[in-house]
Structure 1
Amino acid sequence: MSQAEAKPRTTGQQETNKLDDTGRPRLDELVPSRYAVRIGEIEVMIISDGVLPLPTAMLAHNAEPAVRAAWLDDMFLPRDALDWPLNVVVVRSGAQTILIDAGLGMDPDLQLPRAGQLIRRLEAAGIDLASVTDVVLTHLHMDHIGGLLVDGVKESLRADLRIHVAAAEVKFWEAPDFSRTSMPPGFPDALRATAKRFVNEYQSQLRLFDEQSEVAPGVVVSRTGGHTPGHSVVRLASRGERLMFAGDAVFAVGFDQPDWHNGFEHDPEEAARVRVTLLRELAATGEMLVATHLPFPSVCHVAVDGEAFRWVPVVWDY
């Protein structure tokens, strides 16, 4: 994270790569893929790992199809399949550089070719893998750990890298239960295999916690459960400012329909309870929210709207 990117309170960024034939900067991508914000003295950068094309039934497998279709129509979204954003966060607090989640990595033969962009986008943002002192994982689904399994990544990371994850999460993936999920074919096997490989490769660097752990000054990870038994959120606080990275506890549909069950939730009822609790907390405190699958860069506030909630995007500061 360069000082130029970290100075403004919020900074939208568009990537460039070398020069074109006329000597002008050549656009590497036509849309921004990173966005920086400051929380007091903590530097935060949200980086897009791309998008996951998934069936819309994943939004709410406990909702009537007609009701779900009506919500999609109201949101100007396609009824059959849509692109789920995939956001990752890099935090710098004091001398520590912390990667929160690691994206999908290589496409696990599930036709997800537009995700897995994190490693090259870290490079484009000037973030060296060797500078990362800590990794915090909200949970061990493959779209949160896969980037650490890309060829050459482990060798580029520090030997003393600390990977923080809830003990309950690692325990769950020893014999994961998919009986209450509703995923497309192939996903359970891919999730199970990726989690197993990750734990095997990084076992010696895992730093397990039970309920809560302070990773760095003003950076605290707390287990919520619900989405998975060890699912966790990360709270940032500095100089009276606060931001929560909620991982997969909050999806875009969860503001309007917090009781709808996402297909990847291993305990849907508990996930809904966690979601409502967190959204109420965010509405009460006024702190900013970032989540994995909210539209990039996902920085927003939460307001109460009757029995549901309202997503209030933060205006980009150029």
Structure 2
Amino acid sequence: MTNSDTYQVSIVKFGTRSTVKSDVYLNFHIYKTADEPVDMDYFFWVIRNGRRTVVVDTGFSRHGGEVRNRTFLIEPAAAFAALGVDPREAPQVVVTHAHYDHIGNLDLFPVSNIIMARAELEFWLSSFASRKQFKHSIETEELDYLKRAAGEGRITTFDDDYTVAPGIRVSRVGGHTPGQSIVTVQTSEGQVVLASDAIHYYEEFDQDIPFMFVNDVREMYAGFDTIRKLMSTNASHLVTGHDPSTLERFSPVKAGPLAGLAATIGRKEEQS
């Protein structure tokens, strides 16, 4: 493995909210455990080395957060700037799925190539997007932006797996949404699995408890199994989509505008 296919992963927490477990787990009552408060944090991820930068999801927009009473900890645009991510350089943007809290700032990257599962794009551009159980999790204007980007030829779709660059691979697992995807990244500290919303919480994964909003429960369980296999073979680090303990598990950013709001895995290898 060379420096060109080894990366640093930055995990950025830009928002949060407080809820209860019965509002985040599917049919929570069947587990016969007491309900209790739980926070939900909101993240995006940046993968980079000396040769390239890849953005994974873009967080929720000001409008998308405010109408749902979410708390901003930092504006995603400011966080990208703090990381030195320059939209003019057209970094690739991986969309793990098209919910409001993952594509809310795609317009920050107007010339970037967007990579997402074909099943995800086709579903959200279909009439199903207007059905209430699905519409709850999207912003119509953001889907319109995806449609325009597709018309401009800026979206690369894949069916099962896609190599974004040497050392970075995105794979569709489904479950939470039809094209819910995970990203695997090679770092100096081993392979990282960015599970996004294939796994919202570590407890969800450990206890085998599906999340409340789900397109296909069987696929969600199968996604858990896929990630378990990765963790027992090639992968060293699991990063879930919304767990408040996430930043504590990795190397914290201690200075600058992202102090206390970000963590990293691996070194940012320079171009060789």
Instruction: Judge same fold: TM > 0.5, yes or no.
Output: yes
Give the counterpart of 2:115 among 164, 172, 178. Answer: 164
Q: 1:201 matched to which residue of 2?
A: 148
Superposed counterparts of 1:203-282, under 5 Å: 203=150, 204=152, 205-237=154-186, 241-252=190-201, 253-258=203-208, 260-282=209-231
Q: 1:29 matched to which residue of 2?
A: none
Superposed counterparts of 1:125-144, under 5 Å: 125-144=83-102
Q: 1:271 to 1:141 in 2, by over 3 A?
A: same
Q: 1:85 matched to which residue of 2?
A: 41
Q: Deviations over 1:81-101 (max 9, x none)?
A: x43111111111452211001
1:44 aligned onto 2:22: no
- The answer (yes or no) to whether the contact 1:49–1:87 under 8 Å persists in 2 is yes
Deviation at 1:125, TM superposition (A): 2.9
Distance 2:172 2:85 in 1: 28
Q: 1:290 to 1:256 in 2, by over 3 A?
A: closer
**Structure 2 gap ranges (5+):** 255-272
Q: Which has the higher contact order (CA 8 A, sep 6+)?
A: 2
Give the counterpart of 1:118 among 70, 76, 80. Answer: 76
Q: Deviations over 1:157-207 (max 9, x none)?
A: 4x3x210001110111113379896xxxxx734516255223233222111
Distance 1:280 1:229 in 2: 21
Distance 1:66 1:223 in 2: 28
Question: Which has the greater radius of gyration?
Answer: 1
1:176 aligned onto 2:128: yes
Work out the number of aligned pairs and report it. 246
Superposed counterparts of 1:93-104, under 5 Å: 93=49, 95-104=51-60
**Structure 1 gap ranges (5+):** 1-37, 73-77, 182-186, 300-312
SS at match of 2:32: helix
Q: 1:314 to 1:40 in 2, by over 3 A?
A: farther
Deviation at 1:115, TM superposition (A): 6.2
Q: Deviations over 1:249-301 (max 9, x none)?
A: 1122313421x2312211123212211331243134351111221225457xx
TM-score by length of 2: 0.77
TM-score by length of 1: 0.67
Deviation at 1:116, TM superposition (A): 6.8
Q: 1:280 to 1:210 in 2, by over 3 A?
A: closer
Distance 2:13 2:189 in 1: 27
- The answer (yes or no) to whether the contact 1:166–1:231 under 8 Å persists in 2 is yes
Q: 1:188 to 1:180 in 2, by over 3 A?
A: closer
- The answer (yes or no) to whether the contact 1:180–1:267 under 8 Å persists in 2 is no
SS at match of 1:69: coil
Distance 1:146 1:61 in 2: 25
Deviation at 1:39, TM superposition (A): 11
Distance 1:200 1:269 in 2: 29
**2:138 counterpart letter in structure 1:** L
Distance 1:314 1:196 in 2: 33
